[in-house]
Structure 1
Amino acid sequence: MFSKRLVATITAASRFAFRSHAQKSVRAQSRHSYHSILCQHALPKTLAISHHQQQQQRRTMFIQTATTPNEDALQFIPGVPVLGGEEGSSKRTVEFTSPREGLKSPLATRLFAVDGVRGVMFGGDFVTVRKDPDCPWQLMKPDIYAAIMDHFSSNRPLLREEDSGAQQKDSMDVGEHDSDIVAEIKELLESRVRPSIQEDGGDLDFVSFNEGTGVVRIRLRGACRGCASSTVTLKHGVEGMLSYYIPEVTGVEAVSDELEEQANKEFAKLESQLASSNK
């Protein structure tokens, strides 16, 4: 026989269960009524959500920006591979110093359309953009963000098919005709110098080594172009390291890009003509 306390407990539990069942039935009827009303507008609402999701998909890429030693260059990190899709390509970079060169890449073409952009470089997981000193980043960033997000959301190739093969060569690759000293220089630049420079959104090319004078000539690219600290980096960093490991090296010189110089002259000429016509 059950005790009175146990019977009271069971009775209370039964009442609670009955109330819960009744409440669930009311909620179910309410949900059914709401669902019936919602179904009357299901098609247009579904279309609206689909359109919203498409817009969100294009805008969900989180792009990080990183400053560089060059105040006129910024590194944009989209969180997806840029040139890192191929084996060994994570160390490779591709640079465009003029709108004409930028025609080889749909993304570079879009970036050069942003007022003030002077150069674009692609790395394994980053995009470096150089600007005109007179153009503020605050006005340029929204268009740069939009160009990068739209490109990587469209699944378009980074380089045009007819130009992708020409970008496979790397100045740091050791050739069969390179001397032992040149091979050592390239290996040191590749392993000791290049990684730290690329972290700052820049890069460098090996140009030549003069065995008579012991001078190594390199070309700075990306954020390193026009950077005030690049001279210090060359003398105290690259030159000191190379001469320490390779006694034949006596100095390091940076060479300018003739194409960039010509493009800068044409740009300055165009600015002068526009200024004269506005007077």
Structure 2
Amino acid sequence: MNTFEVSVRETTNNAIIKFELNQFITKHQSFEFNNIDEAKNAPLAQQLFYLPFVKKVYISGNFIAVERYNIVEWGDVQDEVAEQIEAYLNDGGIIVEEDATQKKVPVTVYAESTPNPSVMKFVANKKIVNTLFEFTSIDEAKLSPLATELFHFPFVKSIFLDENYVSITKYDVAEWQDITIQLREFIKNYIENGKEIVKPNAAETLQKSTEQLDSQFDTLDDTSKEIINILEEYVKPAVASDGGNIQFISYDESTKNVSVMLQGACSGCPSSTYTLKSGIENMLKQMLPGKVEMVEAING
């Protein structure tokens, strides 16, 4: 049996911290406990409720999420909690009793059109991945059980996952009015049943873990770093709302050309070239005078 290792991950809610593990602790099940009584069949959750600041415990897949009361800040206690979880698991502590019933977490998913008529965005009311992934074939999708199952629909051409949504590009053989409800229900049920979205090692395998991305960033020249920071702050939120992403590829100091990759709904979108030229290129020229002449894009 491998030794358990716990990593602390912040979430968008500053009251909630995720304690990620290097292996799975539930069999594609999710459990949510609001107090120590509800956790009577979950010894690990019970242990955590002995901490006076613990408000709620959520156990799923390869992580434990804990919500705190405002009597403490996570920064003061998160390392101790991580150590406690790690020690408990490595001592062979029981996580959830075998007869404990799985608590389905209610999930809502709605469909949202994008500027790209071939792409529909399916938005969930919970976070599903920690970093973005794009898969253009079932072979590429082996790191994502959700994407693999979606590719079994014959009209699915490519899949883009980010934070709390799935963007799906369809083949022209199908019309959205005929397939949207089917896809929405499939994604909703998949998430609701606590099934695995991506493999635990997916980010590392694809060189997308936070540590790997930070390491790559540190090797870049100053102008490239400035370009990435501008894209992150001003461009990415807008394209994410459209179900896509823009990724920095390279900067050529001699020609002052910037190369970016368009992903998700932005890839192949009729309006993306206009957005690139009139929006992103002009913005970089204004914010980095004399350093940028042209922005060119490749579709993901």
One fold, TM greater than 0.5? yes
2:179 is aligned, of 127, 131, 140, to 140
List runs of 5+ in structure 2 lacking aligned partners.
1-100
The letter of the residue matching 1:63 is V
Give 1:68's aligned residue.
Answer: 114
Q: What TM-score does the superposition give when structure 1 sets the normalisation length?
A: 0.64
Q: Is 1:79 aligned to residue 125 of structure 2? A: yes
Largest Rg, 1 or 2:
1
Give 1:196's aligned residue.
Answer: 238
Aligned-residue offset at 1:172:
7.2
Report the count of equivalent residues: 194
The letter of the residue matching 1:222 is G
Aligned-residue offset at 1:154:
2.0
2:196 is aligned, of 112, 132, 157, to 157
State which drifts further: 62-71 or 231-240.
62-71
Cα distance in structure 2, aligned partners of 1:76 and 1:178: 35
1:178 is aligned, of 217, 220, 231, to 220
Contact kept, 8 Å, 1:207 with 1:217, in 2: the verdict is: yes
Q: What TM-score does the superposition give when structure 2 sets the normalisation length?
A: 0.60
2:297 is aligned, of 235, 242, 254, to 254
2:261 is aligned, of 219, 223, 229, to 219
Contact kept, 8 Å, 1:110 with 1:147, in 2: the verdict is: no
Give 2:147's aligned residue.
Answer: 108
Q: What secondary structure is seen at the aligned counterpart in 2 of 1:75?
A: strand
Distance change >3 Å, CA 121–CA 256, structure 1 → 2: closer
Contact kept, 8 Å, 2:111 with 2:180, in 1: the verdict is: no
Distance change >3 Å, CA 163–CA 108, structure 1 → 2: same
Contact kept, 8 Å, 2:159 with 2:168, in 1: the verdict is: yes
Aligned-residue offset at 1:161:
2.9
State which drifts further: 61-70 or 157-166.
157-166
Aligned-residue offset at 1:166:
2.4
Where is the helix percentage greater, Structure 1 or Structure 2?
Answer: 1
State which drifts further: 137-146 or 97-106.
137-146
Q: What secondary structure is seen at the aligned counterpart in 1 of 2:217?
A: coil
Cα distance in structure 2, aligned partners of 1:177 and 1:80: 34
Contact kept, 8 Å, 1:68 with 1:75, in 2: the verdict is: yes
Aligned-residue offset at 1:112:
1.0
Cα distance in structure 2, aligned partners of 1:176 and 1:163: 22
Contact kept, 8 Å, 1:172 with 1:190, in 2: the verdict is: no
Where is the strand percentage greater, Structure 1 or Structure 2?
Answer: 2
The one-character-per-residue Cα deviations of 1:230-252 (angstroms, maximum 9, x if unpaired) are: 00010001100001111210000
Aligned-residue offset at 1:100:
1.0
Q: Give the RMSD, CA atoms, in angstroms.
A: 2.2
